[in-house]
Structure 1
Amino acid sequence: MIMTNEMNELAAFAIVARERSFTRAATKLGVSQSALSHTIRRLEQRLELKLLARTTKSVAPTAAGVALLEDLSPALEQIRHALDKARSIRRRPEGRLRIVMSRSAAVMVLLPRLRAFAEAYPDIVLDVVTVTGPVDLVAGEFDAGIQLGEYIQKDMIAVRVTPELRLAVIGSPRYFASRRIPEKPKDLNDHRCITLRLAGGPYRWEFEQGRKSVTINVNGPLIIDDTHLVIQAALAGVGVGLAYEEQVAEYIAKRRLVRVLEDWTPPIPGFFMYYPSRQHQPAALSALVKALQHSEQRPTR
Structure 2
Amino acid sequence: MTPSLDDLALLAAVARHRGFRKAAAEAGLSPSGLSERIRALEDALGARLLNRTTRSVSPTEAGEALLARIAPALADIEGAVAAVGLAADAPVGRLRINAPDAAEIALGPLLGPFMAAHPGVSMEVLFDNAFTEVVADGFDAGVRYGEALARDMIAVPLGGPERFVLVAAPSLIARVGMPAHPDQLRTLPAIRLRLPGGLIAWEFEKASEVIRFQPQGRLTVTSADLGLHAARDGLGFFATFEAWARDDLAAGRLVAVLDDWQQPFDGPFLYYPSRRHPPPALKAFVDFLRARRREPAGSGDASSGEGAIR
Say if 2:93 and 2:280, in contact at 8 Å, map to a contact too: no
Which residue of 109, 123, 126 corresponds with 1:126? 123
Deviates more, 1:220-229 or 1:192-201: 220-229
Q: Say yes or no: does 1:177 pair with 2:198.
A: no
Instruction: For structure 1, list consecutive stretches of 5 or more residues without a partner in the other structure.
Output: 1-6, 8-68, 86-90
Which residue of 231, 237, 245 corresponds with 2:242? 245
Distance change >3 Å, CA 292–CA 235, structure 1 → 2: farther
SS state at 1:218 partner: coil
Q: Say yes or no: does 1:77 pair with 2:84.
A: no
SS state at 2:159 partner: coil
Deviations 1:153-203 (A, max 9, x none): 231111111211111000111221211212222212222211111222111
Say if 1:168 and 1:242, in contact at 8 Å, map to a contact too: yes
Q: In the TM superposition, what are the counterparts of 1:32-47 in structure 2 within 5 Å? A: none
Q: In the TM superposition, what are the counterparts of 1:246-265 in structure 2 within 5 Å? A: 246-265=243-262
Which residue of 289, 293, 298 corresponds with 1:295? 293
Say if 1:170 and 1:258, in contact at 8 Å, map to a contact too: yes
The whole-number CA distance in structure 1 between the counterparts of 2:130 and 2:207 is 28
Say if 1:134 and 1:152, in contact at 8 Å, map to a contact too: no
TM-score, normalised relative to structure 1: 0.67
Partner of 2:9: none
| Amino acid in structure 2 at the alignment position of 1:94 | V
The whole-number CA distance in structure 1 between the counterparts of 2:175 and 2:162 is 31
Partner of 2:229: 232
Deviations 1:249-276 (A, max 9, x none): 3322332211112222222111111111
Distance change >3 Å, CA 73–CA 130, structure 1 → 2: closer
Say if 1:186 and 1:216, in contact at 8 Å, map to a contact too: no
Q: Say yes or no: does 1:186 pair with 2:193.
A: no
Say if 1:196 and 1:227, in contact at 8 Å, map to a contact too: yes
SS state at 1:197 partner: strand
Distance change >3 Å, CA 138–CA 78, structure 1 → 2: farther
| Amino acid in structure 2 at the alignment position of 1:154 | R
TM-score, normalised relative to structure 2: 0.65
Partner of 1:93: 91
How many Å apart are 1:226 and its aligned residue? Answer: 3.2
Identity between Structure 1 and Structure 2 (%): 34
The whole-number CA distance in structure 2 between the counterparts of 1:222 and 1:77 is 64
The whole-number CA distance in structure 2 between the counterparts of 1:134 and 1:167 is 21
Deviations 1:6-60 (A, max 9, x none): x9xxxxxxxxxxxxxxxxxxxxxxxxxxxxxxxxxxxxxxxxxxxxxxxxxxxxx
Deviations 1:70-123 (A, max 9, x none): x786245269679989xxxxx6422222211122212x1222232233333233
SS state at 1:268 partner: coil
Deviates more, 1:144-153 or 1:128-137: 128-137
Which residue of 101, 104, 114 corresponds with 2:102? 104
The whole-number CA distance in structure 2 between the counterparts of 1:208 and 1:179 is 23
How many Å apart are 1:218 and its aligned residue? Answer: 0.8
| Amino acid in structure 1 at the alignment position of 2:99 | M
Partner of 1:202: 199
The whole-number CA distance in structure 2 between the counterparts of 1:191 and 1:200 is 24
The whole-number CA distance in structure 2 between the counterparts of 1:281 and 1:75 is 28
Instruction: For structure 2, list consecutive stretches of 5 or more residues without a partner in the other structure.
Output: 1-14, 16-60, 78-88, 295-301
Which residue of 268, 277, 292 corresponds with 1:280? 277
| Amino acid in structure 2 at the alignment position of 1:264 | W
| Amino acid in structure 1 at the alignment position of 2:184 | D
Deviations 1:223-262 (A, max 9, x none): 2223333222212222111111222233223322111122
The whole-number CA distance in structure 1 between the counterparts of 2:132 and 2:262 is 26
**How many equivalent residue pairs?**
229
| Amino acid in structure 1 at the alignment position of 2:238 | G
